[in-house]
Structure 1
């Protein structure tokens, strides 16, 4: 019998920091979106965009690892740390497919990114080689009747939480522990991250 390939969702982001919105979305996609597992692909610092607010790559990876440790279908990945910069999605997906031929990778993006997808590097190649799951974002309507065959919309729960809001709240001294996984909250508090 032919070996079934593992359906792996690729959820890329800076995760600065990872919050419950990310976790709820990924949890939903694993349980209801037809994926076997999800890899949280932590994006490295872009050398062309020096972002003062972006924490060190390894601290962000550590927070992702802490947040997902109890759920066997999640994996934290530093795969992009070792790719040429800036790392484009098409190149990352192609390299992942080479490195892990037993997996079938699905790109997970928000409706905001889908709206700008034609401006990405090689969007046609991404859709030709890989499945894409688009999740809703407020203010972005997706024309589901004109989607390419390998692109599907999954109506995930909408949690309007952003990492920007969390960084801002922490810098103002707010206690927003319930927006974060307890272990992530602990790391932020212990290392005094995002404080002014």
Structure 2
């Protein structure tokens, strides 16, 4: 985060997030949400009341902000008020918004085959196959190394995935048979 003309309040919030090892994207999102609250109020966010926060969340909802973004704002504001300025009671009216879970679109085997055939080379085919077969996120696929593939045990080691957590994912038989996923191969 840059240091140009930073208020003591913002600096304090960034320090609080840094101590808790928040990733830079989360820090930027939290700062943005607090800035948006300040713009809504027309004054410093640390002066907000519980009623101000209730009106702000209602404003977000009324202006068509999607539930995940509202929930991100709720998390940011709860952090700001409870940790940075030690006024947790003000956040009592803030509530997370439930969003109905949607069933993801699942490709047919034929569609998956066409998708993989369109890959420009074995490296891309392996990445796409692993991503689809193991349900990996794009950032997890990009960070994969050949040493993360255990084709004997049919596992992929995912380091520092979402939430900076390590995990293992199942390697599909189709992915394991690709030349770049065999021992000693270099895509």
TM bin, normalised by shorter chain, reads under 0.3
Structure with the higher fraction of residues in strand conformation = 1
What is the TM-score with the length of structure 2 in the denominator?
0.20
Structure number, greater radius of gyration: 2
Name the structure, 1 or 2, with higher relative contact order (CA <8 Å, separation 6+). Answer: 1
